[in-house]
Amino acid sequence: GAVVSQHPSWVICKSGTSVKIECRSLDFQATTMFWYRQFPKQSLMLMATSNEGSKATYEQGVEKDKFLINHASLTLSTLTVTSAHPEDSSFYICSARKGKRNTEAFFGQGTRLTVV
Amino acid sequence: KQEVTQIPAALSVPEGENLVLNCSFTDSAIYNLQWFRQDPGKGLTSLLLIQSSQREQTSGRLNASLDKSSGRSTLYIAASQPGDSATYLCAVGSGGYQKVTFGIGTKLQVIP
């Protein structure tokens, strides 16, 4: 299967600082990538859909100024958590599709963010 | 808005038993359905992908079925092993950009 690499796998940061998470499709081009967040004992919730070369589409309730998404190339999307607070502590995971329709979604390993 | 429900939320079985995990979704206009496995604190491992035109997929001891019209899917695990212990997630691809909507998962424990 295709490989999606996410970095870092875990990060601890101080409250008020910003953290950038990278999502790369290693062996395919992904026109669309997705960012999810998972709180303990809850399901993965879609935060935003990222399209190469255009603005991300955010789900209702997700602050676009706080969670900055950049999809600068067909193999890289980044999520920046700005001015992080302890309530932003969560498991963030990205996914990418190889093609446009009816294709399997491949997921990164996830990033555990802890804000202290 | 697509909603995905998984039953049961948790399941504990003795090793060797066959078991069925259930998934239901509210909007039958789906592109595909995937079953994933998630180990504690880890990412997702894709187990099976069923396209909307298919009725089932098999991989080793795993068999997933899809009844799109009734909005249901099942994951059948044969001869369960302790290594199968994990949370199993059902995810449905639908809507624009084929958003993936996840269920909350079934936490499986296989007792040796």
Mean pLDDT of A88-114: 85
27-86 in chain B: CB under 8 A from chain A: 31-32, 34, 36, 41-44, 46, 49, 51-52
Q: Are strands A10-13 and A111-115 parallel, antiparallel or unpaired?
A: parallel
Q: Kindly tell me if the per-residue pLDDT of B20 is higher than 80.
A: yes
Nearest beta carbon to residue B46 from set A1, A43, A112: A1
Over the stretch B62-82, which tens digit does the pLDDT of each residue have?
999 999 999 999 999 999 999
Answer whether B2's CB lies under 8 Å from B95's CB: yes
How far is C-alpha A68 from the chain's CA centre? 10
**First and final C-alpha spacing in chain A:** 37
**In whole angstroms, what is the distance from residue B8 CA to residue B20 CA?**
9
Question: Which chain A residue lies closest to B93 (C-alpha atoms)?
Answer: A102
CA angle A102, A106, A112 (to 5 degrees): 145
Q: What is the pLDDT of residue B97?
A: 65
